[in-house]
Amino acid sequence: MLIRPAVPRDLRSSDITPESQYWTRREWLAAAGLTVGAIAGASALLARPAGAQQALGKPYGLQPDDKPTSWDDVTTYNNFYEFGTGKEDPAEQARGFKTRPWTVRVEGMVKKPGAYALEDFLKPSKVEDRIYRHRCVEAWSMVVPWRGIMLGDVLKRAEPAPGAKFVEFTTLYDPARMPGQRYPILRWPYTEGLRLDEAMHPLTLLVTGVYGRELPNQNGAPLRLIVPWKYGFKGIKSIVRIRLTDTQPATAWNVSAPDEYGFYSNVNPTVDHPRWSQAKERRIGEFLRRPTLMFNGYAEDVAAMYAGMDLRRNY
């Protein structure tokens, strides 16, 4: 893997190579088309120019008309309430947020609990570049080239104890550094949860980068979760703790509005949010709305985990 220098915090988008130079539209469509249900896509990607491959990575679950959302949109249209509730607030207010040193704790029902410096936490895992669809409950979506490690790898190393059923994630709590935490907008610190099988699923990533570069603060540096078949709010940012448990964890949005946000939060065009439809979405950077896909286009990979469940009740 090519090691790229980190993006300085104050780097402007005009200073980096535009993503269009890495990946032409024709290449993109070819790659996305090949991946629909096919591992064979990987070999086609290997034949592509090295720059494109390394900058963006392998497309997962994409549709032929999906193309990556621009760096500018990915890094300036954000939700990160610890740094303000406006979409452009996090890019502004998280600018000076220091993410080193950073400690990640793995605890609860594991045989090998531990507190790790971020570098040691990441080191044993394979780093991968993967392009995923990203669908927010607010009915907008993006296509994002993330860089990260498989959460399942981390959990396997910690050796889940028999009886562990869920994983709880917690964001840093430090109101001096995260100004939004001085206001009771959500219950702080932000927490999220997954069932253990969802957490072990090979699509579930702990993300450290985007567009082949270090994760910008506004996207959840230095470590955030991405679960591509769930609404974006499951992608908890700036994680300091991963805890295994036998009881379903409380999650920030479910605590704040239980009728609107459930534990599962699987993308589902047939179950509306009580105040708006989830049938369609607006792809950031595009004008027309497109239909939302069941499990955000990842049904083939994940639907079996929910077989027999009433997805209207388990929203």
CB of 200 vs ligand MTE, minimal distance in Å: 21
CB of 233 vs ligand MTE, minimal distance in Å: 4
- Nearest residue relative to ligand MTE (C-beta): 232
CB of 37 vs ligand MTE, minimal distance in Å: 26
Residue 89 as a binder of ligand MTE (CB under 6 A): the answer is no
CB of 255 vs ligand MTE, minimal distance in Å: 13
Residue 93 as a binder of ligand MTE (CB under 6 A): the answer is no
Q: Which is nearer to ligand MTE, 132 or 166 (CB)?
A: 132
Residues 215, 208: Cα–Cα separation, whole Å: 5
Residue 208 as a binder of ligand MTE (CB under 6 A): the answer is no
Q: Which is nearer to ligand MTE, 6 or 257 (CB)?
A: 257
Residue 236 as a binder of ligand MTE (CB under 6 A): the answer is yes
Residue 136 as a binder of ligand MTE (CB under 6 A): the answer is yes
Q: Which is nearer to ligand MTE, 81 or 166 (CB)?
A: 81
- Part in contact with ligand MTE (CB under 6 A); list of ranges 61-69, 96-104, 232-240, 285-293: 232-240
Judged by the rule CB under 6 A, the positions of this chain that interact with ligand MTE are 78-82, 136, 171, 190, 219, 232-233, 235-238
